[in-house]
Amino acid sequence: MNEEWQGPLEKIDDYRWRLPKSYKSGMRVDGLIYADEKLLKDIRKDKSLDQVANVAFLPGIQKYSIAMPDMHWGYGFCIGGVCATDPEEGGVISPGGVGFDINCGVRLLRTRLTQQEVLPKQRELVAQLFRDVPCGLGVGGQIKFSQADERKILTQGSSYMVKQGFGRPEDILCTEADGCMEGADPSAVSERAYERGKGQVGTLGSGNHFIEVQLVDQVYDPSLAQFFGLEKDQVTVMIHSGSRGLGYQVCEDSLRKMAGCPQKYKIALPDRQLVCAPLDSPEGEVYLSAMRAAANYAWANRQVLTHLVRQAFVHLFRRGENDLGLDLIYDVAHNIAKMETYEVKGKKKKLCVHRKGATRAFPPGHPELPERYRSIGQPVLIPGDMGRNSYLLVGQQGAMEETFGSSCHGAGRIMSRGQAVRISRGRSIQKELEAKGIIAMARGRGGLDEEQPEAYKDVNEVVRVVGKAGISKMVVRMRPIGVIKG
């Protein structure tokens, strides 16, 4: 059992806590934690609050070192961590603030199908998705690309896949950053990364990645739900995956290349996992170029996964794609660093915002939002675990003022994968889920054991915090009826 964290936390209100910079000598800013009393009990059980304090040491950090209510221990940064650095003040980029699975993210599709139409084919649908979507550790896809194609994927992202026939032009408009980060440089990606990513576009992967068939079971804002074309008992599909082996290798390469940067640039760090480099340094620029390429790879991956999901529905229901709907509502990144403009102490600044297990949540009127969503705010997608709910929210002005336009990204683990496997001995997670009306399929038993609902916080409590704190607004809740995992 981990020893409970005993550091100082000052209660701001029921959903915000301050970790004062006096906690550790060298902290440049306070920590700001979003949680209620109940969630805080779990948060105190690991070292993630210390990681919030450690991030506050980074040169050029602005306002706060921030953590969302799904926060838990990660590499360098906690998962659920947000930090913005100013290049004009010696601001740095830290691979630990992006994560290994670069641009791991989620997209949500709406269908024209209802509960009554899908439940009789529930098991068949999950089996069809499992057959049609490659999933599992290291499993390659059936769609092959040449090395020249792969370089185009790294620079063009989703749009390249749509040009190849894997999706619709409107999918691009409903993807964060139009599914492509400018400034990506394929030459900054190592041969080893190319090798690890080879054949993995259009593959789900393992771990917490999933495709989930869901039913809208709660509508919180009827007018916004109608805007999104959603109503109770409607079927939706959520896809969660990232940059696969390529993104992991980009992170590993960058950590190795940056190992000497703290000494070179005289940066004092409390944790070597926070290795970083100034944004305008050669090392920082190379990492950003490679990270952007990996992010584009991830968007391309989710675009092909969307195509495979659409094909599976068409095959099973024997209806045309347009008749079934399967329209993309939005795609959000979870692990990424982006240059964005914010007001700090009355001055507009272009900052590097690290989101590590956090979701962008821009409010109504933000110029980077697609025109169709500018009046209501950015769709924010929060998946839960296999046994509970997922959410569609929209960004609020509070996020721009407090969290650098960010919200939480999921439920957040409270149990390691090893612990989850140990407590599942003698049980069948698959049968337990089926007893709840959820059909689950995975490559091996371990995938379901590691990702069982007990391994996670209750996403309903997590989402309640960001809603009450005014950084995201709840629109609808979905419950799972079928899931495939690696």
Residues marked as catalytic: 409
CA angle 6, 73, 423 (to 5 degrees): 100
Choose among 117, 111, 105, 447: nearest CA to 303.
105
CA angle 360, 363, 367 (to 5 degrees): 90
CA angle 394, 400, 401 (to 5 degrees): 130
Contact 298, 246 (CB under 8 A): no
Spatial distance between the Cα atoms of 237 and 433, rounded to a whole number of angstroms: 18
Report helix angle 122-132 to 282-317, nearest 10.
130
Q: Which position has the token pair 């690290």? A: 354
- Residue 337's φ and ψ, nearest 5 degrees, are -130, 130
Choose among 388, 329, 361, 386: nearest CA to 474.
361
DSSP string covering 108-176:
EEEEEEEHHHHGGGHHHHHHHHHHHS--STTPPPS----HHHHHHHHHHTHHHHHHTTSS-HHHHHTBG
Helix (H, G, I), strand (E, B) or coil at 8: coil
